[in-house]
Homo-oligomer: A and B are copies of this chain.
């Protein structure tokens, strides 16, 4: 483990409000919103874990974690939050070496979480029908240093899937039920299906379509996360809370119903 920032390092700057900024030390001088104009090479030589001053603000400098990468994403569409991504990784048992398909790519948030999980010898195949989303997501994936594990296709998952023997397929599209036949064909036996949908009618249509195919353990979950605020006054749940992200529907391919 490095004690000091070196050339070629990717670092995270964390301000006093715990906002995070990912910086590549070999990058060009640039204006970063929330940091100011920064020549990344000036970070080289600082000791990890120390506080440094840029402009008139203070930042801790650390190696970026997966959580840091997800929290500092440039968002375009609504993203799948780390807590839902964590649930997907665990439930679908995503591991190094696996081949996982996702559609659509959104801002690349889930892509990054999946790519981290299958690295160094697995692959994420990501379908999306919108070129602008793909470009935006790709920037985020590159910044996270994970583009070598991701293969992106401008393709509609409800029309066809070229891949076979996939370990899992994760759908974040408005009409997941229309892709289920293709997904069954593309999955290996025992492989996982997951659809992320904000609406109850999407859940209903997806589950009812899954019933018609050879899937077991068809289950839908909703994750609610509450922060607890500890202060010198005492402890209580946070008043701020996100009321809903999306429903996660899971299933597993079998050969015989």
Contacts and interface: CB of A to CB of B under 8 A. Distances in A.
Interface stretch (A25-33, A125-133, A147-155, A221-229): A221-229
A115 B223 CA distance: 24
Contact of A203 (B216, B223, B228): B228
Interface string A211-249: 000001101111111111110011111111111100100
A28 to B, nearest CB: 26
Interface in A134-174: 165
Contact of A256 (B50, B86, B229, B239): B50
A252 B65 CA distance: 11
A238 B244 contact: yes
A183 interface: no
A236 B14 contact: no
Contacts of A89: 86, 89-90
A56 interface: no
A236 B199 contact: yes
A202 interface: yes
Interface of A: 1, 3, 14, 18, 47-51, 60, 62-63, 65-68, 82-83, 85-87, 89-93, 95-96, 113, 116, 119-120, 165, 188-190, 192, 198-204, 207-208, 216-217, 219-230, 233-244, 247, 252-256
Contact of A225 (B82, B216, B223, B242): B223
Contacts of A51: 254, 256
Contacts of A60: 216, 254, 256
A203 B244 CA distance: 18
Nearest to A69: B93
Contacts of A224: 223-226
B222 A226 contact: yes
B221 A225 contact: yes
A169 to B, nearest CB: 15
Given A49-B256, A222-B228, 20 more contacts: A18-B216, A50-B255, A66-B93, A86-B86, A89-B89, A90-B113, A96-B96, A200-B204, A202-B234, A204-B230, A208-B230, A221-B226, A223-B224, A223-B225, A224-B225, A228-B247, A237-B244, A239-B242, A239-B244, A241-B241
